[in-house]
Amino acid sequence: MTAALEMDGLKKSFGKTEIIRGVDLKIGKGERHAIIGPNGAGKSTLFNLITGRFPQTEGAIRLHGQDLAGKAPFQINRMGLSRSFQITNIFPKMSVFENVRCSLLWSMGYRYNFWSMVGRSRALTEGTDEILDQINLTARRDLPAGVLSYAEQRALEIGITIAGGANVIMLDEPTAGMSHSETDYIVDLIRTVTEGKTLIMVEHDMGVVFGLADQISVLVYGEIIATGTPEAVRANPKVQEAYLGEALEAH
């Protein structure tokens, strides 16, 4: 069985600085994989390489066995990979409903259609309302997305990310900047909406990581020093030394 996502000798340099220094990683279908590591380890860069935001310097990335080299973000998205952002990245001036509807358009086959009216498609409206229901924003449906509370915007961002039906979902610090109750809420939400999909996430909150992930990779200075189940990673002495010890104590 081919892995959902596979990285092979992946490297990325900005000028002379090597940020990702040879990452080999296989993420199986349906896995919930968390990537953790200290600040500046290259977690976000890794995300940006996988989603086509930056081109890699060396190595290969394969999505369901297909090479992603040279592909633009929109092409990678059409192949079934979707992502959220560390800093909330929505369409602030458009309504909550429209935010979600826009993310359904391509996957529902509308492409660059200019001869049918979005308001007339029952399937589109119902699909959008279904997503809004899942992320519990039905009551906020007609508000501009920019006026939502922070936690609501994060929920919307997750809704936009999953709406297109991608089977590989990448979340970049989905709970960053949230209170405890908000975090619990978002973790539940992520668990439900990514049911049956491959989930890859970067996260700092160890409670979230150990609560959601069934596989963990530890990225330190652009290299993966350990991959395994939460228990195995927690017990790994290398990880203890490099990172997790402090993080766990702090937690």
* Residues at the contact surface with other proteins, assessed by CB under 8 A: 51, 72-74, 77-78, 82-83, 85, 89-95, 97-98, 101-103, 105-107, 110-120, 124-125, 128-129, 132-133, 136-139, 141-142, 149, 151-152, 155, 160, 164, 179, 181-182, 185
Main-chain phi, psi angles of 169, to 5 degrees: -110, 125
Which one, 138 or 240, has the nearer CB to other proteins? 138
**Smallest distance from the beta carbon of 183 to other proteins, in angstroms?**
11
**Smallest distance from the beta carbon of 6 to other proteins, in angstroms?**
21
C-alpha torsion sign, points 5, 69, 82, 187: positive
DSSP H helices, the chain, are 43-50, 73-78, 96-105, 122-134, 150-163, 180-193, 206-212, 230-235, 237-239, 245-250
**Smallest distance from the beta carbon of 247 to other proteins, in angstroms?**
26
**Is 148 in contact with 97 (CB distance < 8 Å)?**
no
Q: Residue 48 has which token pair?
A: 């940006």
Of 78, 12, 17, give the one whose Cα is nearest residue 48.
Answer: 12
**Smallest distance from the beta carbon of 35 to other proteins, in angstroms?**
18
Which one, 16 or 114, has the nearer CB to other proteins? 114
Which one, 44 or 138, has the nearer CB to other proteins? 138
By 3-state DSSP, what share of the chain in percent is helix, strand and coil, each rounded to 5?
40, 25, 35
| H or E stretch covering 130 | helix 122-134
Which one, 91 or 221, has the nearer CB to other proteins? 91
Which one, 73 or 245, has the nearer CB to other proteins? 73
Which one, 48 or 215, has the nearer CB to other proteins? 48
Q: Residue 19 has which token pair?
A: 């940020």
CA distance 37 to 45: 12
Which one, 16 or 120, has the nearer CB to other proteins? 120
Question: Maximum CA pair distance of the chain?
Answer: 61
**Smallest distance from the beta carbon of 160 to other proteins, in angstroms?**
7
**Smallest distance from the beta carbon of 191 to other proteins, in angstroms?**
15
**Smallest distance from the beta carbon of 8 to other proteins, in angstroms?**
23
DSSP state letters, 32-66: EEEEE--TTSSHHHHHHHHTTSS--SEEEEEETTE
Q: Where does residue 116 rank: exposed (0-12), middle (13-18), buried (19+ CB within 10 A)?
A: exposed
